[in-house]
Structure 1
């Protein structure tokens, strides 16, 4: 090979290398109606994408939805502009993501905490019972009355998973503790939530773990009035009752976002339904609140029981029926 040809090849390789390094991944996030100041998963996902951008070359854009009718327009906007990954937040966005995925089959979509069965959608789902298991451990270690409760919104499979995980966590710590499980029949019935939580207090309940959607505000009102403890799934609740909420069991969005982005860069990204649990480090206690309201001894105990679960020494009960 002549020196001239070799120089040309080296020059082409240099140009290719430069253009490849200059490429960036276009990532978009559409919020649900909670918006990006919800102190919950819209805000957490936005922060996690900004954090992961420190290690990857991303072009990030965000669109906030004020109404559920905004979902489709906001998702389609990014699809029409050929973004590489378009994220949606929560099960209320499932239909909008599904329709966009069908209209734009060449675009990749990610739905956080929802399921869309399309070939170009990655669904990030969670083993709710394992998050609730942590809540049950804390409840058993913290209760003074030896009576705790779980309140769910509608009695769906997902919410019953929270129930059985919570019941298991309480039982492995102390099987003598009574657990009362109640359902509201709705995720929006504030008055029923307040009524049922008040009834539970009259039955000696001093701690409630809940998965009740917007109706949770009724439970929080009762906690403020009756001075009982709560364990939440929504960090936004801390501002409403900072002296009552012991902690929040959160999804580890930093870890999950990095996993998805890294897989895309490493060419092992697969659109599928992915389920995360404790073995994936998918759940965390809200750090500031936990450190403020829980002793280090309790936090150490939670970690001990978590390690026992990961070692296969503890199994989540299959059904409470």
Structure 2
């Protein structure tokens, strides 16, 4: 009896160890669904990313940044994770969570995180932080900004040459100096090639309200606009939704995407072109500086000459060759300083 009892006990213990191992595997899988990018990467370098309220799947700059970090991990350089902010109250707690966990670099994506990055950076001078679309003047913060007005000028040239109604729309997210750089450049590009065209502007007041973006687009299209350029994050998804419903009903309207090549998301029937902002390139570059041990704070502004902004490579699907040639001519003039693009609304 004692031998049978001992054997049974051994089998129970072995089964317990097996189940515990399975449980640990399950926990790891669940963790991957909470903002961790799969497996791989270096356990010595950890990079965190805090999203703006638009969220990691905004089909815009948050998504571009996260895709860049996933590529960094795929290259074997680091382990990466994101925390999604549902409101501005989440910014500081999310940033602090990465700092507390000794992450090698913590990203804040979007100008709305500037105050939070400054607060956390001042309180943690040994922590490395970086921000997209704003300047935080601290020695441990890398600030990446873009000449959005230059890239917007180029898509303004396209809109000015391709509008049939001579009414062109702009839908912005929150009204701010950053988003007004998009508006200013877009307006200047239109006027450079079509001074008779009218630009109609509608600010949604948010980056995470697709329903408001859809309503803003409907108002503009109802007023005769046939092309809308949006700089509104996830709110811009509503602009595409409104355009798609109209195209499906036989009305020819267009959307100009932003940040990413949004024709890859919404298709060529509704996306005229996109103003590309290389958030992914910037995030990947600075993240690799941390991996290489060369990271340092400061400000870096990326424009046409740096390939930091531009026009989507797929533009030739809908934009005629002569218009794209004109775009290239203006691009060279801007790079050479022969054309000065305003960065404030005139």
Provide the secondary structure at the position in 1 that maps to 2:103: coil
Aligned twin of 2:138? 118
Structure 2 distance, partners of 1:137, 1:119, is 39
Taking a change above 3 Å as real, the CA distance of residues 175 and 317 of structure 1, as seen in their structure-2 partners, is farther
Aligned to 2:334: 309
Q: Which has the higher contact order (CA 8 A, sep 6+)?
A: 2
Question: Over alpha carbons, which structure has the higher Rg?
Answer: 2
Displacement of 1:107: 0.9
2:162 to 133, 142, 156: 142
In the TM superposition, residue 118 of structure 1 has moved relative to its aligned partner by 2.9
User: What pairs with 1:90-109 in structure 2 (closer than 5 Å)?
Assistant: 90-109=110-129
Q: 1:151 to 1:51 in 2, by over 3 A?
A: closer
1:293 aligns with 2:318: yes
Alpha-carbon separation, structure 1, partners of 2:50 and 2:202: 31
Query: How far does residue 213 in structure 1 lie from its aligned partner after superposition?
Result: 4.7
TM-score between both structures, scaled by the size of structure 1? 0.76
**Alignment counterpart, residue 187 of structure 1, candidates 206, 210, 213:** 206
Q: Structure 1 residues 210, 41: CA separation in 2 closer, same or farther (over 3 Å shift)?
A: closer
1:167 equivalent to 2:192? Answer: no
Counterpart among 273, 298, 306 of residue 247 in structure 1? 273
Q: How does 1:226-265 map to 2 (within 5 A)?
A: 226-233=251-258, 235=260, 238=263, 239=265, 243-261=269-287, 263-264=289-290
Give the SS at the match of 1:115: coil
Task: Check the 8 A contact 2:143/2:299 in 1, yes or no.
Answer: yes
**Counterparts in 2 of 1:191 and 1:247: CA distance versus 1, 3 Å:** same
CA contact (8 A) 1:27 1:85 kept: yes
Matched, 1:42 2:62: yes
Change (3 A) 1:33 1:161: closer
**Which one of the candidate residues 289, 302, 320 is aligned to 1:276?**
302
Look up the match of 1:16: none
1:63 corresponds in structure 2 to 82
Where structure 1 has 5 or more consecutive residues not aligned to the other structure, the ranges are: 1-21
Distance in 2 between residues matched to 1:104 and 1:260, nearest whole Å: 19
Q: Aligned partners of 2:69 and 2:211: how far apart in 1?
A: 37
CA distance in 2, matches of 1:257, 1:196: 31
The match for 2:13 is: none
Question: Is structure 2 residue 203 aligned with structure 1 residue 178?
Answer: no
Q: Does the 8 Å contact 1:146/1:176 carry over to 2?
A: no
Shift in Å, 1:46 = 2.7
Long gaps (5+) in structure 2: 1-41
Distance in structure 1 (CA, Å) of the matches to 2:105 and 2:329: 38
| Number of equivalences | 297
What is the SS of the residue equivalent to 1:161? helix
Distance 2:210 2:286 in 1: 37
Partners in 1 of 2:137 and 2:116 — Cα distance?
13
Q: Is the 8 A contact 1:33 1:64 kept in 2?
A: no
- Cα distance in 2 for residues equivalent to 1:105 and 1:249: 36
* 1:26-57, Cα deviation, whole Å (9 max, x unpaired): 433233344444333233223323434576x6
The 5-angstrom pairing of residues 216-231 of structure 1 reads: 216-217=236-237, 219-223=239-243, 224-225=245-246, 226-231=251-256
Distance, in Å, in 1 between the alignment partners of 2:345 and 2:66 is 37
Deviation at 1:96, TM superposition (A): 3.1
Output the CA distance in 2 between the equivalents of 1:240 and 1:302: 23
Q: Counterpart of 2:78 in 1: which secondary structure?
A: strand
What TM-score does the superposition give when structure 2 sets the normalisation length? 0.72
Contact preservation (8 Å) 2:256, 2:272: yes
